[in-house]
Amino acid sequence: MSTKSAKYFVILFWIVAIIYIIYVVWANTLPINRNYDSPLFFLNFIQRVSALTVFLLLTDQIVTGAFMDKITVKLGGWFYKLHTTLGIVTYALILAHILSYVVFLFLANHTLNLFYFFTDFCLICEPKSELYISFGRIAFWLITVTILIARFRTLPALRKHWKMIHMFNYLVFLLIAVHSYMVGSDTYTILFKPVYIFGVTLVSATFLYRLIILAKQNITLK
């Protein structure tokens, strides 16, 4: 595939993916709840669309990141720049997912508790859904730390251990995958579940591949 064809393919893929995600959320919204005059409807819609898009972007970031050297050799440096840009978009959508829910609850219940959204962790939770919401909070802070480390990855200490630090992305994905499936209303629908299963399978296979590579490197060093 030529560089030009690859660029067109990537653009087309994400256009189709976003349209499909919007359709999934719309189709999974009962007609009686499609109140286009209500800001609560649009906030809920943004929250759900951003959640599914983040899942897809994280899958892409992890899988392409694992093979970035080979991909850039074949397609060129533009793919690495795209990877970096999509990483920023992913984080922005995570913030949009959280903040849209903050505003939703503020308008619906007239309450504003930012500590609940960012730092209210629990392991023995009532109701049980709070545990899976906590997974989302932990994932948010982990990905925030990972992004900050990536910003300074050229420092000798970080550059030396960057590949090991990058493995935290798999933990982030696991937490978000469980959070999405147990808390979300769209992940397990007939329209998105195949995408979800494919994404989890792909990331799991990539994780195993990375472990094998790291194990071989350690054996070689010894």
List pLDDT tens digits, range 82-124: 998 999 999 999 999 999 999 998 998 888 877 777 777 777 7
Helix (H) or strand (E) holding 1: none
CB neighbour burial string for 158-169, b if at least 16 within 10 angstroms, e if fewer: eeeeeeeebeeb
Q: Which residues span the domain enclosing 203?
A: 3-30+38-221
- Model pLDDT, residue 221: 47
Non-local (6+) Cβ contacts of 33 within 8 A are: 41
Interatomic CA distance for residues 180 and 159, integer angstroms: 32
Number of structural domains (the chain) is: 1
Mean per-residue pLDDT of the chain = 87
Highest mean pLDDT: which of 10-19, 33-42, 77-86?
10-19
Q: Find, among 173, 161, 163, the residue nearest to 204 by Cα.
A: 173
